[in-house]
Chain A
Amino acid sequence: MNPRKRHFVITYFVIGAFLNSLLWANFSHTGASNSHNTALGTVNILDQKFKETFAVIHEVEAAGAESAQIKDFVDRLNLALNLTDQAEAGAILDQIKGEASQLHDAASLRSYYNKIFVFAMVPVAALIVTLCVHYALKKRQSKVERIMNLKIREKREAQNV
């Protein structure tokens, strides 16, 4: 391997390792916060169901769901909380839980893709900046060279006289 290729490979691995460490640090943090939400105790049926539903919405929020969707869930959760008819409240909680579980996967995926997109834009932005700076410097250099290459000539009018 020639020195130029070796240099390129080393640079590639250093940058790759740096990117991976950033991604790992970020996703491991998300994983830890999600695992907090899984431990559940035992209380009466509606309370337990309510707590489970609340925990699911909490996870959906942590996964990066939109605030309008979370507000909708919270409004319905409060509706269930104030109902005296336990069967009706239970039905609402079941419905919220089902919808929230579906939304959780979509929100997780979307926030994952958002992160990937943001990190993927890093080399693109760096390349754009490099090209801009490179050509700006080159233009400046050529201007300086043009000035340096100027030659002194006599004016034509002076020649005619």
Chain B
Amino acid sequence: MSEDKKRAVIIFASAFMIFAMLAYVAVTPLPKEKFFQLYALGDTKKAERYYPNNNTNLSTDTPVKWYLGTNNFMGSIQIAIIRVKLGNQTLVSPNETQATPAPLPILVEFRKVLLNNETWEFPFVWKIANITDVGNLAYLTLNINGAEKYIEEVGAKDGYNYRLVFELWTLDIESNEIVFGWKASNQRRAAWLQLWFNATR
């Protein structure tokens, strides 16, 4: 084989290897971190002014407006479910490590199918419609986005230290069940928020 041909074969083999690598990289999707974000904003759509006059002591019929939102960075379409729960100081919170939800009554839930990289943000308007005293415990009737609900499972002493808990649930395609949090790299992750308030007359 002449020098020219030898050189051509070497160039061809080298170029082939390089282009094959490039082709493989081009058709193989890059592994990315998969996660959701969950957030709550005040009435100015910023992380401030969560309560009227920044006062967490809420009297009946005082409207409170928040914006709830979630971002889907899971790399595919997902069903996002935001469950709103009422808790007090003593009831258990969600556990991020074990991905267990809070054993609290669900007040309302919001559901939406999200595209990859989609942000879903919506207003959450609520007020204390009524406060019922049973002994020294106060029980609330909440009005959320126009619908009223009396929550008999959760009371608080003198109406202090209530909290609204927001949990993100998703549809796990493998098990075909709605689960708290999501699964990424064979690990369960969870996202939740809570905002405290006192119920006063």
Binding site for B on A (CB under 8 A): 4, 11, 15, 18-19, 22, 26, 29, 36-37, 39-41, 43, 51, 54-55, 57-58, 61-62, 67, 70-71, 74, 77-78, 81, 114-115, 118-119, 121-123, 125-127, 129-130, 133-134, 137-138
Contacts and interface: CB of A to CB of B under 8 A. Distances in A.
Contacts of B77: 54, 57-58, 61, 70, 74
Scoring B8, B15, B28 by chain A CB atoms within 10 A of each residue's CB, the highest score goes to B15
Interface stretch (B52-60, B108-116, B126-134, B160-168): B108-116
Nearest to B117: A67
A41 to B, nearest CB: 4
A134 B7 contact: yes
Given A22-B24, A74-B113, A77-B113, A39 B76 contact: no
- Using C-beta atoms within 8 Å of the partner chain, give the interface range for chain B: 20 to 34
B8 A134 contact: yes
Given A57-B77, A81-B111, A134-B11, A126 B24 contact: no
B30 interface: no
Scoring B1, B16, B174 by chain A CB atoms within 10 A of each residue's CB, the highest score goes to B16
Contacts of B4: 134, 138
Contacts of A77: 113
Given A11-B9, A51-B176, 20 more contacts: A22-B23, A36-B173, A39-B176, A40-B176, A41-B175, A41-B176, A43-B176, A54-B171, A54-B173, A58-B77, A74-B77, A77-B113, A81-B111, A81-B112, A119-B20, A123-B16, A129-B11, A129-B12, A130-B11, A138-B4
Interface of B: 1, 4, 7-9, 11-13, 15-17, 19-20, 23-24, 26-28, 76-77, 79, 111-116, 171, 173-177
A126 B173 contact: no
Contacts of B13: 11, 15
B20 A18 contact: yes
A141 to B, nearest CB: 9
A130 B113 contact: no
B176 A122 contact: no
5 contacts: A29-B28, A39-B174, A55-B173, A130-B11, A134-B7
Given A71-B115, A134-B4, A134-B11, A126 B171 contact: no
A78 B27 contact: no
Nearest to B79: A54
Contacts of A62: 76
B176 A19 contact: no
Contacts of A126: 12, 15-16, 19
A114 B177 contact: no
Contacts of B177: 41
Given A51-B176, A54-B171, A114-B27, A15 B79 contact: no
A77 B11 CA distance: 53
